Amino acid sequence: MVKSDVRAGLELPPVTHRVTRNNIVRYGRLVTGFNPLHDDDEFAQELGFEKIVAHGVLHLNYISEMLCCYAGHPNRVKKIYIDFVKAVYPGDVITARGVVREVREEGSSMRIVIDVWSENQDGVRVTDGGTAEIEAGS
Amino acid sequence: MKNNAIGKEYPSVSYEVTREMILAYSHAVDETSPYFADEETEVLYAPHTLVGAYTLLLMPHVVADKELGLDTTKRILHVHQEYEWKRTAVAGDVLTIRGRIADINSRDERKFIVFEGDIVDALGEQVVVARSTLMVG
């Protein structure tokens, strides 16, 4: 939860999940799939990937989960802008991270701007350059 | 792919956010917060990325758009995502996605296409704007 002494440089509690092939298959069944990159190993290999690649938005949810846990309520998560920079494969362990960049007072509430990214088990960033905003107080 | 498709709008798509959809989505992304995963809760919230992910419901229109000429047998990578939430969708919301092509540009012989989905509720109030950038080639 957001404390009153939130300030630039504060690190959010990270969120870690292992992305399994099962996650990717289940996710692919939910959203209208048009890209065989997510369910066809041969197709993925023809494009130069090791195997099927997880949907970017699947693991982007780890970042929104981290933000929501910190903000304390779903409606306080207001914005995420982010780049997907590296493929996430079945078996990868992804950690979502965030560091507060700026705290602005907006009337009776606060707008907290957070640098966000996520990295794999080797510490390599799979999403990067992210900006998120949450609301706090009021 | 044709740059003159910038600004093009696709037929809007409506769907209901059901409890089953939310619980299945939460399960797929390992979301365990009671806001998103408690079967017994009165107000079940949709995980933040769910509503954006369902903008893919527009893809059949996009893929069938000969004027745009998106070749789905080629390498298509999702390279950037933006979400701006006014509120979080909940089970029972009937949402309408108004989709358009916000931009098409080229860098290093690759095409970048930006889809924008403006997602509104049954009262016409905005819930979220989702912008997805796909890299083709």
- The pLDDT confidence band at residue B108, using thresholds 50, 70 and 90, is confident
Mean pLDDT of A73-88: 97
CATH topology classification for B3-16+48-136 = Thiol Ester Dehydrase; Chain A (3.10.129)
Closest-CA residue of A relative to B46 is A74
Interface touch B77/A84, C-beta < 8 Å: yes
Which residues from chain B sit within 8 angstroms of residue A55, using beta carbons?
A: 53, 78
Q: Is the CB of B80 less than 8 angstroms away from the CB of A80?
A: no
Q: Which of B29, B45, B84 sits opposite A27 (nearest CB)?
A: B29
Pairing between β-strand B94-107 and β-strand B110-120 as defined by DSSP bridges: antiparallel
Question: Does any CB of chain B come closer than 8 Å to the CB of residue A45?
Answer: no
Mean pLDDT of B2-22: 90
Residues B21-69 pLDDT 10s = 999 999 999 999 999 999 999 999 999 999 888 877 777 788 788 888 8
pLDDT for the residue numbered B4: 78
Residue A32: the pLDDT is: 64
CB neighbours (10 Å) of residue A132? 25
| CA proximity to B49, closest of B14, B85, B77, B76 | B85
**pTM listed for this prediction:** 0.94
The sheet with strand B13-16 has its strands ordered as A15-18, A93-106, A109-119, A125-137, A77-84, B76-85, B126-136, B110-120, B94-107, B13-16
- Say whether residue A4 is in contact with chain B using an 8 A CB cutoff: no
pLDDT band at A138 (very low <50, low <70, confident <90, very high): low
The reply to whether A82 touches chain B by the CB within 8 Å rule is yes
For the segment A84-113, the average pLDDT, to the nearest whole number, is 96
The minimum CA-CA distance between A102 and chain B, rounded to whole Å, is 18
Q: Take residue B114 and report the two structure tokens written for it.
A: 């930006």
Chain A interface, best mutation among B45, B50, B81, B113, by max A CB count within 10 A: B81
Q: Inform me whether the pLDDT recorded for B1 exceeds 80.
A: no
Task: State whether residue A54 sits within 8 Å of chain B by CB.
Answer: no
A31-53 pLDDT tens trace: 766 688 899 999 999 999 999 99
Could you give the CA distance from residue B21 to residue A131 in angstroms, rounded to a whole number? 28
State mean pLDDT over A103-113. 92
Smallest Cα distance from B4 to chain A, Å: 24
8 Å CB contact between B113 and B131: no
Q: How many domains does chain A have?
A: 1
**Predicted pLDDT of residue B71:** 81
Q: Where are the domains of chain B?
A: 3-16+48-136
DSSP for chain A? ---TT--TTPBPPPEEEE--HHHHHHHHHHS----GGGT-HHHHHHTT-SS----HHHHHHHHHHHHHHHHSSGGGEEEEEEEE-S---TT-EEEEEEEEEEEEEETTEEEEEEEEEEE-TTS-EEEEEEEEEEEEE-
pLDDT, averaged across chain A: 94
CATH of the domain at A56: 3.10.129.10
Contact state of A61 with B76 under an 8 Å Cβ cutoff = no
CB A90 within 8 A of CB A37: no
Q: For residue A15, is pLDDT > 90?
A: yes
Give residue B90's Cα distance to chain centre: 16
Provide mean pLDDT across the span B76-85. 94
Give the mean pLDDT of A121-135. 98
Interface pTM, i.e. ipTM = 0.93
A94 to chain B, any CB pair closer than 8 A? The answer is no
Q: Is the pLDDT of residue A20 over 90?
A: yes
What range defines the domain where residue A133 resides? 15-137
**Residue A3 falls inside a structural domain:** no
